[in-house]
Amino acid sequence: FLPKKKKQKDSLINLKIQKENPKVVNEIDIEDLKSTNVCYCRCWRSKTFPVCDKSHIKHNELTGDNVGPLILKKKIL
């Protein structure tokens, strides 16, 4: 018999993105990338999630965190 899992509200990473879903998953087809550099949010604060809108800068200032985007680069051949 295992004890019930405690919910740790203070440790939530995702505060408001797609909270109606049990899991937030984004799929990006690499063939659809239009520009040479696309930045994807890893701080969960972007208002354009999953694309980075630079909200990580304010988040890092407020919290002392050091998070930043995932940058996908497309080579032009």
Active site residue 23: yes
Identity of the residue, 38 or 43, whose beta carbon is nearer to ligand FES in the bound complex: 43
Distance CA 43, CA 66 (A): 9
Identity of the residue, 1 or 66, whose beta carbon is nearer to ligand FES in the bound complex: 66
| DSSP secondary structure letters along 21-54 | SSS------GGG--SSEEEE-SSS--TTTTB--S
CB of 11 to ligand FES, least distance (A): 18
Spatial contact of 40 and 1, defined as CB atoms under 8 Å apart: no
* Interacting residues toward ligand FES by CB under 6 A: 41-43, 45-46, 52-56, 68-69
Indicate which residue of 4, 23, 34, 75 is catalytic. Answer: 23
Q: Please give the positions annotated as active site.
A: 23
